[in-house]
Amino acid sequence: MSLQEFIPTPDFEEYRETFKDFFHLERTDGVIVARAHTLGGPIQLSVQNHRALGQMLKTIGADPENEVLILTGSGEEFMMDADPEGFALEDEDLPHWAYEYAYKDGRINVSSLINDLEIPTIGIFNGSGFHSEIVLMCDITLCAEDATVFDLHYDISSVPGDGIHSCFQELLGVKRAAYALLTGEAISAQQALEWGMVNELLPRAELLERARTIAAHIMSKPRVTRRLTTQIVRRPWRRRITDDLDGGFGIQMFGHLAKQKSIHSKKHIADTVAYVREGRPNNFD
């Protein structure tokens, strides 16, 4: 017998309770579904839920009972709003939270999705929203047929260097990514499918069931095959984030601090994303 015991791995019932204010977690036969939410509805961006994402991904990755992750939002939108008080901490101490929120937590979120999960991931883009990289960078992505993909950073006077740049450049290529990031281009679900950003379009009500069907197929093969195949299909993302994720975040944080003010107010974001709800191609046409 060994002189030492294994450190216990995370217990599902315990971390389901820990994360309940940020994610509804359920697991059946190794397939874990994580539905991000704010008060049960679509995600409203905040310092708190931004941090919780990376913590949740690391915890799921550390539990060997998890075999496939389905990651999605809640309601008819993915993320189109900010928590009214979600950036009060940033306003109180911008230098501290520019690092803690914008640089450290943001890098952890994207890196954890790619590096800390040894299991296949299925992202569901359940409706229009920004910070779509967290589901677009999953191994497989399903999309609501009426959703719109866009990035709001430039329009709120922020540098789009917090992972969305890596995502768009990898999926769209240099020219399309540059246009999308500089203009806030509203990319329809059909265009996202044709450009290879997502794999399938479905009515919103059918997304989760389709994800479960795909997960069941993935689960039909041996555990070692599932996990090692994940290492193969994820290699392009690993190269991409190794090459430019930290640098992009550093550039964004410099711009953030140079303005010496927060740019994440609820009204600022609401005004900026209005064109998506209005069906316009960007915020200046």
Predicted local distance difference test score (pLDDT) of residue 57: 98
pLDDT band at 236 (very low <50, low <70, confident <90, very high): very high
pTM for this prediction:
0.96
CA-atom Rg of the chain in angstroms: 18
Number of domains forming the structure of the chain: 1
| Percent above pLDDT 90 for the chain | 82
What residues have CB less than 8 Å from 180, skipping those under 6 apart? 150, 151, 168, 172, 187
> Is the pLDDT score of 5 beyond 90?
yes
> Is the pLDDT score of 259 beyond 80?
no
> Is the pLDDT score of 224 beyond 90?
yes
Residue 1 within any structural domain of the chain = no
Residue 40 within any structural domain of the chain = yes
Predicted local distance difference test score (pLDDT) of residue 103: 87
Domain that holds residue 198: 12-278
Q: Which residue has the higher pLDDT, 250 or 127?
A: 127
Residue 173 within any structural domain of the chain = yes
Identity at 99, one-letter amino acid code: Y
Q: Specify which residues 125 forms β-bridges with.
A: 143
Cβ-count burial 4-21 (b if 16+ within 10 Å, e if not): eeeeeebebeebbebbee
Residue 190 within any structural domain of the chain = yes
Phi and psi at residue 137, to the nearest 5°: -90, 5
Residue 165 within any structural domain of the chain = yes
pLDDT digits (tens, 9 = 90+) for 150-205: 999 999 999 999 899 999 999 999 999 999 999 999 999 999 999 999 999 999 99
> Is the pLDDT score of 143 beyond 80?
yes
> Is the pLDDT score of 260 beyond 70?
no
CATH number where 195 lies: 3.90.226.10
Residue pair 84/266 in contact (Cβ under 8 Å)? The answer is: yes
Unique residue bearing structure tokens 């229009």: 128
Q: Of 5-19, 31-45, 47-61, 86-100, which range is least confident?
A: 86-100
pLDDT digits (tens, 9 = 90+) for 87-133: 888 888 888 888 888 889 989 999 999 999 999 999 999 999 999 99
CA dist., res. 227 & res. 230, Å (int):
5
Residue 86 within any structural domain of the chain = yes
Residue 283 within any structural domain of the chain = no
CA angle 210, 216, 222 (to 5 degrees): 150
Residue 44 within any structural domain of the chain = yes
